[in-house]
Structure 1
Amino acid sequence: MHKPISKVHLVGMAGSLRKASYSSAILSGLRDHVAAIATLEIRDLRLPLYSEDDDGAATPEDVRDFRQAIGASDGLVIVTPEYNHGIPGVLKNALDWASRPFGSSVLIGKPVLVMSVSPAFTGGVRAHAQVNETLLAIQARIAPGPQVVIGSVAEKLRDGILVDESCQRFSLAALDRLTEMSRSLEGSLQA
């Protein structure tokens, strides 16, 4: 008798704080589409600015909660816009907090899917590359396969939902790769 496959628990991070954020819209749409195979908990990135002086015993409660949520998850889904050809400060700050304590952070070995969005046709590729570079330095595991870069994103959303079918299929295929990676890593840890 086979053990039923449990849902994968993912944490989502939108690199924009704007109410009508394209990044948040993509995450919300993904959450609704994957409900049968995964839970996607979207976290707010309004954290204090990282300072080593405020870390350790003085770590703020919201940061401890943020780290705990990542640690308890099976993987992360990051959707980032591109600000001035780079990663938004709010996302970099969240990754800085999550990357501590050095050498034993909750991100080490954590499967991560990065997606980037932009109203420009380039889809935020520069921010995407910078997020990947940061994740590699943190020793997270970037999900394999083609990168998800959604250009002209405003034209592909309606009422805050991704309606472009090809982008939706491509994004969901990447999410499938992340969930399979998460299950594979969980299986190897239990073996």
Structure 2
Amino acid sequence: MAKKIAVLVGSLRKESFNRKIANELEKLSSDNLDLEIVEIGNLPLYNEDLDQNPPQEWTDFRSKIKSADGILVVSPEYNRTIPGALKNAVDVGSRPYGSSVWPGKPGGVVTSSVSALGGLAANHHIRQAFVFVDVPLMQQPEAYIGNSSQIWNEDGSCVEKTQEFLKNWIDAYEKWVNKF
């Protein structure tokens, strides 16, 4: 039976490079992984005052994460850190105190940037947030995809070199998930 992987895309833009990378990872993954993008753009900002009567969007999000066997984050870097919508998703899933949906789910992080750095700072900030909520993250191989605007063919497919990198990465992630 395939492991259900919740994919969080840090960019909310419909045609974001990160969403395209997430879709490419889904295509390249084996039948042993079932990757599903869990939308985060509709989540109201976390506010502890709402914990007693949470918005339906929080409840639905928490349910999807709770039922997942693993977490995969594909994200850009905004201002050298984690995008606000992604941080909000981490917070919504970790609350109310004592009811976090994150613990023990094997995680992986892929970041990209139109610059050569590939979202390096965001990658480490995302890791910091997920380590705190007890998501064991795959350490190697790391995935920083630089120049993300230049990794696509005219037909929208991923260039071969990046496709090979992503295939190796998702295969390593599958092995990581299977350890749990």
Relative to the length of structure 1, the TM-score reads 0.87
Partner residue, 2:160: 165
User: Which sits farther off after the overlay, 95-104 or 135-144?
Assistant: 95-104
AA of the residue aligned to 2:46: Y
Q: Which runs of 4+ in 1 moved over 6 A?
A: none
Count of equivalent residues? 179
Query: For 1:160 and 1:126, how far apart are their aligned partners in 2?
Result: 31
What's 1:50 paired with? 46
Contact 2:76 / 2:83 at 8 angstroms: preserved in 1? yes
- Is the 8 Å Cα contact of residues 48 and 96 (structure 2) preserved in structure 1? no
Q: Name the counterpart of 1:137.
A: 132
Q: Which amino acid aligns with 1:144?
A: Q
Aligned to 1:80: 75
Aligned counterpart, 2:146: 151
Counterpart check, 1:32 vs 2:27: yes
1:95 counterpart = 2:75: no
Q: Distance in 2 between matches of 1:118 and 1:13?
A: 16
Cα distance, 1:82 vs structure 2 = 0.7
**Per-residue deviation at 1:20?**
1.3
User: Residues 159 and 16 of structure 1: is their aligned pair in 2 closer, same or farther, counting only changes over 3 Å?
Assistant: farther
Deviations 1:65-119 (A, max 9, x none): 1111111111111011011111110111011111123344111111111000000
Contact map agreement 1:75 1:178 (CA 8 A) in 2: no
Deviation of the 1:36 alpha carbon: 2.2
Instruction: Describe the SS at the equivalent of 1:17.
Output: coil
Q: Which runs of no fewer than 5 residues in structure 2 stay unpaired?
A: none
Structure 1 residue 150: Cα displacement = 0.1
Q: Counterparts of 1:139 and 1:51 in 2: how far apart (Å)?
A: 21
Gapped runs of 5+ residues in structure 1? 1-5, 186-191
3-state SS of paired residue (1:121): coil
Q: What TM-score do you get using the length of structure 2 for normalisation?
A: 0.92
| Alignment check: 8 A CA contact 1:16 1:80 kept | yes
SS of equivalent residue, structure 2 residue 165: helix
Corresponding residue SS for 1:19: coil
Does 2:175 correspond to 1:177?
Answer: no
Residue 133 of structure 1, CA deviation: 0.6
1:69 aligns with 2:64: yes
Deviation at 1:10, TM superposition (A): 0.6
Structure-2 residue corresponding to 1:15 = 10
Instruction: Give me the CA root mean square deviation.
Output: 1.7
- Deviation sequence 1:33-81 (CA, Å, 0-9, x none): 22522111111112000101112x3111111111111111111110110
| Partner Cα separation in structure 2 for residue 177 and residue 75 of structure 1 | 13
